[in-house]
Amino acid sequence: MEKESENDQFVSCPVCDRFYEKQNIEKHVNKCIFLNTIPEKSPKRDGSHLEDNTQQKKIKLFSGVLSGTSTQSKDMQTTPTQEKLNQTHILTSQVASPKQTKSSKDTRHIPLAEAMRPNILDDIVGQTESFGVGSMIHSMLVKKIIPNMILWGPPGCGKTSIANVIAKICAEESNLRFVKLSATMSGINDVKEAVKVAKNEARFKRQTVLFMDEIHRFNKLQQDTFLQHVENGTIILIGATTENPSFSLNNALLSRCKVVVLNKLSVDDVWQILERAVLRNNLAIIVDNIDNKLNDEVIGDKWVIERKSIRWLAEICDGDARIALGALELVLNAGSIASTTGNRKFISLEDLKRGIKRSHILYDRHGEEHYNIASAIQKSIRASDDNAALYWTTRALLAGEDPLYIARRLVRTAAEDVGLGDPTALVEAVACLQGCQHIGMPESDVLLAQCAVRLARADKSGEVYRAMKRVQATLSEHKGPLPPVPLHLRNAPTRLMKDLGYGKGYNTRHRDSSGICYLPEGMETVNFFNKDC
């Protein structure tokens, strides 16, 4: 009994796992907590100081328990010593090590598109003009020199992947630090906090590279936050946007950054990415033809997929690698669309077409592509290319464009480009607009298609449009006050106006025989229908 009483006087510290006397345990724990909350000195900071420290929160929880803030069920019949030991045991199990916390996060599913992001420059597929061997930016990145730049391109073309490569370059250099933010999740306060840390890092000669995804979602006033810090070199800014920087970004910011234009990935580029994903992750066996004889020992329980199936996936994704990788992952995870023969699992092109249909066309109803398609429709009609006019009109409708918007553009085209070459074309275009208003989609698609082809095949005359532009130029370039309306062209409803000469000498005869000039004084010889005007 004496030994048991002696053992009861010692309690294990939940922080360092050492035993101390009960009367000294609280003093020791306070000291131990203080020592374990001092941040470790490291040559680089990865931004974790901006996140919540889980271990410190749990240590605070232990402090609250020692001060008697925890509650216990009345049904539990324990001695004070047992109660103290139970609390210590519970808290010890709650304070998880950083390694355990990190490993628990790693169990989450990482999408194939995220797992296949390149880590080195040579892994970047496509964009050879901007990041290929021999390009200026490629040479700078090889030398670990990172410029301020705006990556502009459609979704899935590799903007975030390029940022991932730059992040790996920063991780290899002790004087570079990479911070990733997104305008969809972050605000100005987050940017200010990142800049504040960057200034502190600059004291230790560490440069901060700030990647701002979807930077166009910041309005131009918010974008001014970057100006001073980019100007003085506090941060190196890399922005990614799908919108035209000329319209969505601040001109002052554009003058400090190089705009890198990224194009859609070609079919061959996406095909290469898909095959690389299959081979590197050992997802399936790629064959030229399923009917060929295959070695069962090599195949095992893996999927077998035809090369032409992967090619078809690359063709329907509209140059978006993320869409293609997501579709490939969906195919390999969905066994319902595959054919099974014996112990083999095949994915043929026919199986793939039954399970996946083209549903992705790059189009934004309020962005640049919206205006690009509208411009293509009008220019095709102007050139009398009925085939192209039908293609662009149908493409816009299939992508979800407002049919009334297309109809209004066709009315404009009927007056601007067809004009007096076929005056009835304007009447038909207005009728098409009214028809679209009455019946809506999808029935109005044939109205728009017919109108576009009709305008393309009509005789063209831009005479009125060009003359109108000459009148507008004359009015805008006129110096001084505009000339008044001649007296003989004014109405004279009162005697006073008649006495002042309003309407004097006016007649209804043709201009050649009336002897009246219908233009202001000084413009008698001007002819706006003359090209030399």
What is the predicted pLDDT for the residue at 178?
Answer: 93
Spatial CA neighbour of 257 closest among 271, 240, 280, 275: 240
Contacts 24+ apart (CB under 8 A), 375-382: 377/406, 377/409, 377/410, 377/413, 377/452, 378/409, 378/412, 378/413, 378/417, 380/456, 381/410, 381/413, 381/417, 381/418, 381/452, 381/455, 381/456, 382/413, 382/417, 382/460
Task: Round to whole Å and give the CA distance between 36 and 511.
Answer: 100
First to last CA, the chain: 119
What CA–CA distances, in Å, run from 200 to 81, 188, 211, 316?
Answer: 49, 19, 18, 48
| Tokens read off for 505 | 């000498």
pLDDT for the residue 532: 65
| CATH topology assigned to domain 368-461 | Zinc Finger, Delta Prime; domain 3 (1.20.272)
Q: Where are the domains of the chain?
A: 2-105, 115-261, 267-355, 368-461, 464-514
* Average pLDDT for runs of 10 along the chain of length 533: 54 75 74 56 44 46 44 42 42 40 52 86 86 88 91 88 91 90 89 91 90 90 89 91 87 89 89 88 78 61 81 85 84 60 66 64 61 90 94 89 92 94 94 92 91 95 91 87 88 88 88 87 87 64
Q: How far is CA 425 from CA 344, 382, 413, 420, 461, in A?
A: 62, 13, 10, 9, 12
What is the structure's pLDDT at 42? 42
CA distances from 291 to 153, 194, 278, 312, 416 (A): 41, 58, 20, 19, 59
Prediction pTM value: 0.57
Residue 362 has what pLDDT? 54
Per CATH, the homologous superfamily of domain 115-261 is P-loop containing nucleotide triphosphate hydrolases (3.40.50.300)
Return the residue matching tokens 């109660």.
83
Helix (H, G, I), strand (E, B) or coil at 52: coil
* 347 vs 310: CA distance, rounded Å: 10
C-alpha torsion sign, points 391, 394, 399, 404: positive
Helix (H, G, I), strand (E, B) or coil at 451: helix
Instruction: Order the strands of the 303-306 sheet from edge to edge.
Output: 284-287, 303-306, 344-347, 339-341
The CA distance from 329 to 281, in Å, is 11
> CB-hemisphere CA count at 13 Å for 176?
19
- Give the type of residue at 466: R
Looking at residue 34, its pLDDT comes to 56
Angle, CA of 351, 278 and 287, to the nearest 5°: 55
Q: What is the pLDDT of residue 385?
A: 95
CATH 1.10.8.60 is right for the domain spanning 267-355: yes
Cis peptide before 403 (omega within 30 of 0): no
CB 338 within 8 A of CB 346: yes
CB 207 within 8 A of CB 181: no
